[in-house]
Amino acid sequence: MDQIPSAPPLVAALTQLREEYRRAKTNGIPPHQLRGLRIRLRTFLDEHRRALPRNEAAGLRALIEDVDHTLAGL
C-alpha cells in the first residue's frame, strides 16, 4: 500500500518547483516549457493535496494561478 510522504520532503519538493518557476520567469523560457511546469505543479498538488500543510497548498494554488497569468501574457 502506498504511504503518504511526510510534509518536510513535500515542502522541499515544492520549494524546488517554486525555484524552477522563478528561474523560468527571470530567464524567459519557451511557452511549452512553462506549460510543462504548470502541469507538473498541478500534478504535484493533486497527488499531495492531503499531505501538504494548508498554507503550502494555498501557496501552490496561487503559484499555479501566477503561471497561468504568465502564460496568458505570452
Tell me how many domains the chain contains.
Answer: 1
- Find the domain containing 66 and state its range: 7-72
- Using pLDDT thresholds of 50, 70 and 90, give the confidence band for residue 3: low
* pLDDT exceeds 60 at position 11: yes
* pLDDT exceeds 50 at position 1: no
Q: What angle do CA 17, 19, 39 make, to 5 degrees?
A: 30
CA distances to 1, 5, 14, 42, 72 from 18, rounded to whole Å, are 30, 19, 6, 12, 19
Per-residue pLDDT of 28-53, as tens digits, reads 888 999 999 999 999 999 999 888 88
Other Cβ atoms within 10 Å of 14 Cβ, number: 22
In a domain, 15, yes or no: yes
